[in-house]
Amino acid sequence: MKVRNINRVERRDAFLKEKAAGVSIRVAIAEEDGAKNSSMRILEIDPEGFTPLHTHDYEHLMFVVRGAGIVTDGSKECRLEREDVVFVPQGQAHQIKNTGDTELILVSVLPVQRD
């Protein structure tokens, strides 16, 4: 069993080569920990920050820890607030934007096996 606090896990910038701003991740639980099915990352988005509008061939589950924002598929927008969950099926475009004054923090769950 492994227990760790996410704030003691290295934070690194994400999406640097794409149209994004102010996004970082902490890898909370990964294959190196013995995970065979799911990995967990913490996504931190600065005020006015956003991920790219992007698509991948695997599903994406998220839980909003704190902050406020929106998720969009490129046309429809949906507001996000604390304790919302988001399910993005494989192949669906998605983008997260921080619309609040504080960091937007999300738990992000992906399959371990992905491209």
Task: Give the shortest CB-79-to-a copy of itself separation in angstroms.
Answer: 8
Measure the CA–CA gap between 96 and 82, rounded to whole angstroms.
14
Which is closer to a copy of itself, CB of 20 or CB of 26? 26
Question: Which amino acid, residue 5?
Answer: N
Q: Which lies closer to a copy of itself via its Cβ, residue 89 or residue 101?
A: 89
Interface residues toward a copy of itself, by CB under 8 A: 1-7, 28-29, 33-38, 40, 58-59, 61, 63, 65, 71, 73, 78, 80-81, 83-90, 92, 94, 107, 109, 111
Among residues 11, 18, 5, 108, the alpha carbon closest in space to that of 54 is found at: 18
User: Cβ 45 to a copy of itself, closest distance in Å?
Assistant: 16
Which residues lie closer than 8 Å to 114 by C-beta, 6 or more apart?
A: 56, 57, 58
Q: Which is nearer to a copy of itself, 37 or 101 (CB)?
A: 37
In the complex with a copy of itself, the residue whose CB is nearer, 17 or 32, is: 32
Q: Is 95 exposed, middle or buried (0-12, 13-18, 19+ CB in 10 A)?
A: middle
